[in-house]
Amino acid sequence: MSAIALDNTTTPAGARRSKDKLLVVSGAVCLLVALVAVFGTVLAPHPPDQTDVLNASLGPSADHWFGTDGLGRDIISRAMAGARVSFAGAGFIVLGSAFLGTTLAIFAAWNGGWVDRNINRVLNVMFAVPGILVAVLASAIFGAGFWAPVIALTIVYVPFYARVVRSSAVRECKMPYIEGLELAGVSSWRICTRHVLRNVSPIALAQATIAFGSALVDFAAVSFLGLGVQPPQAEWGLMVADGRSEILSGAPQQSLVAGACIVVTVVAFNVLGDRLSSRIGADR
């Protein structure tokens, strides 16, 4: 009877965790958007930069599913092509800041003492700096384009990773097996890269998933202000900005489609990151 009772109490919990609908749905949406970002220019029904002033600002039709913009370009084709630039910008920001933040967090946790305290002070100062302001200043100084906001936002996002990963790394560095490895003569480099990094990587991955949505919004905001990606390049933030003048003329479709792409992608990545964090917390 006790074995049966134990099985009845543990199986439903495991089944619920394995059937996390929010995790599956958000993961599927993220995967779909990622595929569009990779193959969007190939799958687009029309060339993204093909203009047709005679068919400018048209509403949805069989030939143009979401209408055309002020230059007669197919909106859905530009949204699919713009996914690549938006994803690339957010991807570079997340990868760069994840690498720097995780490295800094493990370094602080391993050394402790005054090293850890001073790194935390620097991170606290960086937390007080608005990311979008740094990106705008970088674009104003070094010129509008793709790389200036990417590099600026990468630096701004470092403390978000470092703070989250550090707490896990500190706990990991105090585990008994770490002391055993040190007594066995294993080098600090090998312990940090092969053991500490491996055990904190799930948390870093969950944080990266959440940060991807924020990076996408910030990158799009810089382009919206005219300091990021420049026309005629297709990019979601730039499309929202270009569509502002068309809204008053009764053709809001460009801004609506690009804005919807941003919202859906950000929500999907935030939900995915939240569910991953919950599962990691339950496992630990």
Q: 223-239 in b/e burial notation, b at 16+ Cβ within 10 A?
A: bbbebbbeeebbbbbbb
In the chain, the amino acid numbered 133 is L
In the chain, the amino acid numbered 281 is G
> Does residue 136 sit within a domain?
yes
Write the CA distances from 67 to 46, 71, 79, 84, 238, integer angstroms.
12, 11, 12, 21, 17
Q: How far is CA 80 from the centre of its chain?
A: 18
Phi, psi of 58 (to 5 degrees): -80, 150
Q: What's the confidence (pLDDT) of residue 10?
A: 46
**What global pTM score does this model have?**
0.87
> Does residue 14 sit within a domain?
no
- DSSP lists the bridge partners of residue 72 as none
Q: What's the confidence (pLDDT) of residue 284?
A: 60
> Does residue 9 sit within a domain?
no
Range of the domain at 144: 45-283
Number of neighbouring beta carbons within 10 Å of residue 47: 13
Identify whether the C-beta of residue 200 lies closer than 8 Å to the C-beta of residue 165: yes
In sequence order, what are the residues at sequence separation of 6 or more whose Cβ sits closer than 8 angstroms to the Cβ of residue 279? 17, 20, 23
Identify whether the C-beta of residue 238 lies closer than 8 Å to the C-beta of residue 82: yes
> Does residue 33 sit within a domain?
no
> Does residue 26 sit within a domain?
no
> Does residue 216 sit within a domain?
yes
How far is residue 262's CA from residue 264's CA, in Å, rounded to a whole number? Answer: 6
| CATH number of the domain where residue 257 is located | 1.10.3720.10
How far is residue 98's CA from residue 208's CA, in Å, rounded to a whole number? Answer: 7
Number of neighbouring beta carbons within 10 Å of residue 275: 20
The total domain count for the chain is: 1
How far is residue 91's CA from residue 217's CA, in Å, rounded to a whole number? Answer: 12
Q: What's the confidence (pLDDT) of residue 232?
A: 85
> Does residue 27 sit within a domain?
no
- Residue range 192-214, pLDDT digits in tens: 988 899 999 988 898 899 899 99
> Does residue 31 sit within a domain?
no
Parts of the chain with a pLDDT under 50: 1-16
Place of tokens 């990094």: 197
Write the CA distances from 160 to 44, 46, 88, 153, 208, integer angstroms.
36, 40, 20, 12, 10
Classify residue 68 by its DSSP letter: B
Q: What's the confidence (pLDDT) of residue 18?
A: 53
